[in-house]
Amino acid sequence: MVTVRQADAMAGQTITQAGELRSARLESLRAIAALGVLTGHIFGQSRHYAAAATLDTFWHRTLFGGGFGVFLFFALTGYLLFWPFARHYFGPGASIDVRRYAVNRVLRIVPLYVAAVVILMIVHEGGGSASQWWRFLTFSENFSSRTIGTVDGPMWSLVVEVHFYLLLPLLAWGLARVTRGSKAGATLVLLGLAAVSYVVRRHAIGVVHRPLLEFSLPGAFMYFVPGMLLALVRLHWAQRRPRWLAGPLASADAWLVGAVLLTVLQFRDYSSLTLIALASFCAVGACVLPLREGRLLRALDWRALAALGVASYSLYIWHDPIVMRLAGVHGIPRSYPAQLMIATVVCVGVALVSYNLIEAPFLRLRRQWSEASAHAEAVGPAPRALDAAAADATPTPTPAVPSAPKA
């Protein structure tokens, strides 16, 4: 039996989100993803999202490629939300209270989303149209070419996340029934579903550009799968650690380096759909699997970075309108370095205020009916996210450059 103190040590440092303990390392990954999207959009805005100016060199593709951070968010969601279902259906975990799961998801996503829709519809859209209002307030803007990508670009991924939330309980149950509780069988089924999603996304992007299909759960499901697979891997390794996992492969730092290298390769070839998924698998795996710690992994315990991760939902949902507004303010230099410095300071400040005023009060409501500490995760051989029901959503599309990352 692993004590709470031992579990906390294995999980690295923790940070509080509205009274709930969270893994600082996973929150830092959120911060990195959000900052990547922010810097990518600032660069895209500074070049007017013109392909010739954003994709012409590897350095430019790297700066613009921060938008791929959205897929790291999806992987984190896949792991954190699937983990309690995986423990229940494929391990020794308790049954899932689907009602509490649903309420937690609503409190996590809806308040800030609705606040952003109302404010941006009035300020950014001049009041908006009836079609915009009902589609955005029902999370259905991705179903119409007239509303997708409008009001606030990042909201396309929130729609995808909500659909994943709705599907997950049924998907987890179906996986368990079809595979009869076999982790290996569930792994194969998830890989098969990822392959189908790959075909859908490849068709939507490469054959005929169809944003409605690209920005849908079928087109994005392959990026949730790395996190879901990690939940199954963690369960398997808790029972039997593979012999091949030794030497450099047992180092979490090696997994993080692998994530960086795969991301760099993704920047070299935007047309690849799998490299960033593999990078996400390595990055999240370094934080949640029982690997040997190193300096790189411990660097993710940096509290300032983790604190920004706690507010990453606010950062991601407000940054794009702010970046666009600042780009048009007279007197602010249009160069990328100047825009980067000014927009980053403003966006981070707004995110911290938004988190404390809008997100945190609703997140505290969850403590009335759900356990909110490491005690819920006190048993297990691996580092962990301490609140498995608190995964966020993420960043934004850039329709002007179809071949670019859609954050």
Total number of domains constituting the chain: 1
Residue with tokens 């492969």: 249
Residue 254 placed within a domain: yes
Q: Residue 233 sits in which domain range?
A: 4-377
Residues 84/277/311/140 CA torsion (nearest 10 deg): -80
Q: Is residue 386 part of a domain?
A: no
Has residue 385 been placed in a domain? Answer: no
Torsion of Cα atoms, 234 then 99 then 356 then 141, to 10°: 90
Residue 403 belongs to some domain of the structure: no
Summarised one tens digit per residue, pLDDT across range 180-197 is 999 999 999 999 999 999
What is the pLDDT confidence band of residue 201, given thresholds at 50, 70 and 90? Answer: very high
**What is the model's pLDDT at position 249?**
84
Closest CA to 307 of 35, 8, 4: 35
pLDDT at 240: 82
Q: How far apart are CA 318 and CA 87, in angstroms?
A: 35
What H or E segment, with its residue span, contains residue 302?
none
Per-residue pLDDT band at 76 (split at 50, 70, 90): very high
Q: pLDDT tens-digit profile of 154-190?
A: 899 999 999 999 999 999 999 999 999 999 999 999 9
Mean pLDDT confidence for 311-328: 94
More confident residue, 305 or 207: 305
Q: Reply yes or no on whether the pLDDT at 127 is more than 70.
A: yes
Q: What percent of the chain has pLDDT over 70?
A: 87
Mean pLDDT value across residues 202-209? 79
Tell me the C-alpha distance between 39 and 68, whole Å: 11
pTM greater than 0.75? yes
| Cβ pair 281, 288 in contact under 8 A | no
pLDDT, position 285: 97
User: Residue 149 is encoded by which pair of tokens?
Assistant: 């990508």
Residue 389 domain-assigned?
no
pLDDT value at 405 more than 50: no
Q: Is residue 382 part of a domain?
A: no
Please state, in angstroms and as integers, the Cα–Cα distance from residue 123 to each residue in 10, 113, 142, 321, 323, following that order: 46, 15, 21, 10, 15
Q: What is the pLDDT of residue 207?
A: 61
pLDDT digits (tens, 9 = 90+) for 7-63: 433 457 899 998 889 999 999 999 999 999 999 999 999 988 888 888 889 999 999
CA geometry: angle 288, 289, 290, nearest 5 deg: 125
Rg for the chain, CA atoms, rounded: 20
Q: Is residue 404 part of a domain?
A: no
Helix (H) or strand (E) holding 289: none
| Residue 112: both structure tokens together | 């800030």
What band does 384 get if pLDDT is binned at 50, 70 and 90?
very low
DSSP 221-267: GGGTHHHHHHHHHHHHHHH---TT--GGGGBHHHHHHHHHHHHHHHH
pLDDT band at 232 (very low <50, low <70, confident <90, very high): very high
138 in any annotated domain: yes
Residue 21, beta-bridge partner list: 16
Give yes or no for residue 394 having a pLDDT over 80: no
d(CA 397, CA 407): 5
For the stretch 343-379, pLDDT in tens is: 999 999 999 999 999 999 999 988 765 554 333 333 3
Average pLDDT of every residue of the chain? 87
d(CA 366, CA 141): 28
